[in-house]
Chain A
Amino acid sequence: MLIPHPLLGPRDAQEFTYLGDAALIDRPDGLAADAAERFFDYGYLRDNPPGEHRELWFHEQGDRSWLVVTRNITTHEIVRVELARDVALARGRGR
């Protein structure tokens, strides 16, 4: 596969390491009252839909950016690629 890196253009997927669902960005607050319940969901419950999937890839042999890659997992078509940092900031993880 070629992953169109938002800064570097198309790069071979061999340069990347895959982590999993982009929902891993949404780490719950460990000090919240219901932390145990929320971490259980965070750690173990994943949707596994056919079609488009948002996933985390690390450009290990490149610029060391974590990316959120929106990919159709049945056709491998890559619909959108974002810097995970931007996604995380947009989701309010700035502090």
Chain B
Amino acid sequence: MSQTMRLAGGRIDRATTLSFAFDGRLYRGHPGDTLASALLANGVRLMGRSFKYHRPRGPLSAGSEEPNALVELRSGARREPNTRATVAELFEGLVATSQNRWPSLAVDALSVNDRLSSFLTAGFYYKTFMWPKAFWEKLYEPAIRRAAGLGRLSGEADPDVYDKGFLHCDLLVIGAGPAGLAAALTAGRAGARVILADEDFLPGGRLNAETITLDDAPARAWVEATLAELASLGNVRLMTRTTIYGAFDHGIFGALERVTDHLAQPRPGTPRQILWRIYAKRSLLCAGATERPIAFENNDRPGIMLAGALRAYANRWAVAAARDVAVFTNNDDGHRTARDLAAAGIRVAAVIDSREDAPDTPGVPLFRSAVVTGSRGRLGLKAITVRTAGGRTEEIACGALGVSGGWNPNLQLTCHQRGRPRWDDALATFVPVGGPSGLAVAGAAAGIFSTHGALRGGAAGARAALADLGIAASLPALPRAEDAPVRIAPLWQVKGKGRAWLDQQNDVTVKDVTLAHQENFRAIEHLKRYTTLGMATDQGKTANIPAIAVMAELTGKPIAEVGTTIYRPPYTPVSLGALAGRSRGAEFRPRRLTPSHHWAEGQGAVFVEVGNWMRAQWFPRPGETHWRQSVDREVLATRQAVGICDVTTLGKIDVQGTNAAAFLDRLYCNGMAKLAVGRVRYGLMLREDGMVKDDGTVARLAEDHFVVTTTTANAIAVFRHMEFCRQCLWPGLDVQLISTTDAWAQFSVAGPKSRALLERIVDPAFDLSNEAFPYMACGGVTVCGGLRARLFRISFSGELAYEIAVPARYGDGLIRALMAAGEDLGVTPYGTETLGVLRIEKGHPAGNELNGQTTAANLGLGKMVSSAKDAIGTVLSRREGLNGPDDIRLVGLKPLSPADVIVNGAHLMTEGSPVDAAHDQGWVTSSCHSPHVGHAIGLGFLKRGDRRTGEIVRVVNPLAGTDIRAQVVAPCFVDPEGVRLRG
């Protein structure tokens, strides 16, 4: 038998039949169904187990507020846990599995938790699993995690892609029900840029779920005519399957569009979902309202639903949740459910209305001043017990019960900027107050519950919003619609002995709230944390207000005073995949490639990420099996012949202007004002607090033109700092800055044969002799027959060395030309590892030493800080705390036993002293094997290091259990006199 509970009519496409599976059984449904409606049509009410007690559960709602009917949708890597069956669109071949049960949904071993419920009340794990302490991690937590919880992750990489996007509009209309459609129509006709977003796949909102008429015709006719007109307007963008999940500052909204969730799998390449950032000048919240239940004993059985949901299933999806139904209400809207169900041919066994003045529905037995006190049916509702006005208890057989405790405006977005809603006694609900600037509310979201009010409110809201923007709009002719007043008498719970659920997803009952009250967790935010009320994936959309009301009753305070918890984004869950967008895996961040990248790839280079840059780390040669072999070879080749390294990644900033020299003189702690044209100087940049910020070279190309370099890692921060100095500190200086990092391909050419090599590349007109182009010279040259280039005679390695730059497009050509020209000289390309070894051997500080916590004095560069001028950081570099007698100084470290290895991070200890923090003398910052000296070497900071040369210290690494002895030496292992680099 198939779809035994299907009624006539509905908004489904009966011409097409879809097959789907739930827990391995095959069923049929139609396009337009949700998984929940299709299962109900097939007579399946049991769809899940609750979080803590493993109670059998069916859908409570027919929308995104669903707490119970959560399933794992799809299979394999696409398996998505905790998917709400009430919003999952049915597609051919859909596979869903129930969750949080074993071995099956009907027979669940952990439903024993339900019997143990008296031990599992709010806060039970705080109280129960405290001792012994070690048991928490090993025993309690894993056991609790296995028992509690919902769906399982697939554990596999998500095979789908997610996009991001950005949209701009005059008016964002949130929700395409009667208010939203009227608003979009008003604004669309006025020519404004409009976005109309709705979480549903079928626009129309509550009009899809009702039998009401507009202008005496079915509401659908007006909805369709309106949608057709909106589609014809180029200025209106209708976004279905799109949830506005957050309202951020200044009219920015987050939206999640489920582009292909309704397909078995996305078309290749197309995104599964798009996370939109919407910039809206004005916005109108027309998100409707959510019905709330009434708590009574065992009110969570499959078959007990919100009355409006029962009605929606019948009207929109042509599904009867059961053959015999009852309705329990405290307001007139519940009676609408009874009328609609009766009209659809479902037997309405009774309407139980807690009010004395409940209206009559012809042909339906009515219990006035009566309440439902309990229910029966292990895996699905069989009967309810009713306490009548006279106090009699009566059992009424029914397979479904529609419960209506009233409706709550969906005002969450008005609270995302700390808006606090106001309690309205007449409506017995919270209504929005204020909200983010530029956002107004219309329709049921504003507490206007009639269709007439929604239509008019939407249109008026749109007109007012546009008037604010100076766009005139006229109100469209709107259809006649019902305008029933709200008649409600608040009823939150029916007191009884058993458990009555408030938050069905997190299994929070009235008893838990009572316990929280007893234990003084009475503030609403404390109640939430103590009981986990509203903290499940549904964020308590059906639970919060009743729980607030119960707490109000317990404390004797009016609900208005208890208030709500703060609603925060997201309104409904947003997958991490959507938040990540395309920033994952290799696309996590942009990759910057050096001009020699393609060439280096061809050389088989091993690459390393340095910030966003991909740099060659070393260049293995055939036969080399360990990176050290390659690096040792590259180091020795550079020291003995010539090596080439792509140093394009260093930040290059062009500094021009008549005051450029004065500007740089204030920026660097050492003097720059008198740097001669055609000369380079090492520059040390401090932060204003006296710590070293960055270092680099300053080259003066002309009287009013410098190019300065920064470390690769700090390029962006240094540029920002320089602009700060230029614009905020010294706006009177004539100086202009621009980054030229990418414009020039720059190579370091280092080693005793570097001049010989460059003389073959640089055009003969340029004299590279030591006299004509000495150490620290710079200037424009041409290479390879006229190509403009820049040459700097600077050295990071301590060797005779140059850096040569050509426009980036010629970088590939230049490295190839250098390699070809230097073949007989033994030219060797080297990577960042060799770069590191060369600079450690020479004792140049780099990132490990310039860690933001070291001063020029610490680095042994204290004399560079000029006291004759006012540069950034000079004053505070002199402060007492940075100039103590015990200050650390950069030293070199040489192991006493040549076989010992020095490890970064190891601490330096005086011989004979205990190894503890109190006796700490410093630490190793950089270390490597030096092929030049033939053993490990290190750089480090040591207290009074400049006065301890020759001392033997212990190099202790308690993590690895090593403890070696090393001699303190000057931080320079190569050519301390600097003969080579000047040669």
A interface residues (Cβ-Cβ under 8 A, vs B): 1-2, 10, 12-13, 17, 19, 24-25, 27-31, 35-36, 39-40, 42-43, 56, 58, 60, 64-66, 75-78, 83-85, 87-89, 93-95
Contact = CB atoms under 8 A, between A and B. Distances in A.
Interface in B714-742: 716, 720, 723-724, 727-732
B251 interface: yes
Given A2-B250, A66-B723, A66-B724, A39 B732 contact: no
Contacts of B876: 36, 39-40, 43
A2 B280 CA distance: 11
A94 to B, nearest CB: 4
A85 B731 CA distance: 6
14 contacts: A1-B248, A2-B251, A2-B279, A13-B249, A19-B724, A27-B729, A39-B688, A40-B876, A43-B688, A58-B723, A66-B727, A78-B250, A85-B727, A88-B727
A60 B720 CA distance: 8
A76 B729 contact: no
Contact of B250 (A1, A29, A64): A1
Contact of B870 (A31, A42, A66, A76): A31
B108 interface: no
A1 B874 contact: no
Contacts of B688: 27, 39, 42-43
B870 A64 contact: no
Nearest to A42: B688
Contact of A25 (B720, B723, B728, B870): B728
B732 A94 contact: yes
Contacts of A83: 727
Contacts of A58: 720, 723-724
Interface centre among A25, A27, A56 (most CB of B within 10 A): A27
Nearest to A39: B875
- Interface size class of chain B, counting residues whose CB lies under 8 Å from the partner chain: 20 to 34
Contacts of A85: 727-728, 731
A40 B688 CA distance: 10
A79 to B, nearest CB: 13
B720 A36 contact: no
Contact of B728 (A12, A30, A40, A66): A66
Nearest to A4: B250
Contacts of B728: 24-25, 56, 66, 84-85, 87-88, 93
Contacts of B724: 19, 24, 56, 58, 66
Contact of B871 (A24, A30, A39, A87): A30
B731 A94 contact: yes
B250 A30 contact: no
A10 B430 CA distance: 34
A65 B727 contact: yes
B891 to A, nearest CB: 29
B809 interface: no
Contact of A2 (B249, B417, B727): B249
A28 B873 CA distance: 12
B517 interface: no
Contacts of A93: 728-732
Contacts of A10: 250
B251 A89 contact: no
B720 A29 contact: no
A76 B727 contact: no
B475 interface: no
Contact of B727 (A36, A40, A75, A84): A84
B252 interface: yes
A17 B720 contact: yes
B732 A30 contact: no
Interface in B243-296: 248-252, 279
B250 A36 contact: no
Given A58-B720, A58-B724, A64-B723, 17 more contacts: A1-B248, A1-B250, A2-B249, A24-B728, A25-B729, A35-B870, A36-B879, A39-B876, A43-B689, A56-B724, A58-B723, A84-B728, A87-B728, A88-B727, A89-B732, A93-B732, A94-B732
B878 interface: yes
Nearest to B725: A27
B707 to A, nearest CB: 18
A52 to B, nearest CB: 16
A1 B249 contact: yes
Prevailing SS type, chain A contact patch: mixed
A20 to B, nearest CB: 11
Given A2-B249, A2-B250, A60-B720, A30 B875 contact: yes
B870 A29 contact: yes
Contacts of A88: 727-729, 731
A78 B681 CA distance: 44
A65 B248 CA distance: 25
A80 B724 CA distance: 20
Contacts of A43: 688-689, 876
Given A88-B731, A89-B731, A30 B874 contact: yes
B15 to A, nearest CB: 47
Nearest to B248: A1
Nearest to B738: A64
Minimum-distance CB pairs A-B, first 8:
A30-B870, A94-B732, A2-B250, A1-B249, A39-B875, A95-B732, A85-B727, A66-B727
Nearest to B870: A30
Interface string B415-430: 0010000000000000
Contacts of A56: 724, 728
Nearest to A86: B731
Contacts of B250: 1-2, 10, 76, 78
Contacts of B870: 29-31, 35
A93 to B, nearest CB: 6
A66 B689 CA distance: 21
A10 B689 CA distance: 34
A60 B876 CA distance: 28
Contacts of B716: 60
Nearest to B876: A39
Contacts of B417: 75-76
Contacts of B251: 2
Contacts of A1: 248-250, 252
A63 B250 CA distance: 21
B854 to A, nearest CB: 17
B636 to A, nearest CB: 43
Given A36-B875, A58-B723, A76 B731 contact: no
Contacts of A19: 724
Nearest to B729: A27
B593 to A, nearest CB: 21
A54 B85 CA distance: 50
A60 B879 CA distance: 33
Contacts of A36: 875-876, 878-879
Contacts of B720: 17, 58, 60
Given A2-B251, A29-B870, A43-B689, A35 B875 contact: yes
B89 to A, nearest CB: 33
A95 to B, nearest CB: 4
A50 to B, nearest CB: 14
A76 B249 contact: yes
Contacts of A42: 688
Contacts of B279: 2, 12
A35 B688 CA distance: 13
A30 to B, nearest CB: 3
A43 B724 CA distance: 15
Interface string B878-920: 1100000000000000000000000000000000000000000
Interface centre among A28, A30, A85, A88 (most CB of B within 10 A): A30
Interface string B841-883: 0000000000000000000000000000111001110110000
Contacts of B869: 30-31
Contacts of A87: 728
B659 to A, nearest CB: 10
B167 to A, nearest CB: 13
A78 B437 CA distance: 12
A87 B729 CA distance: 10
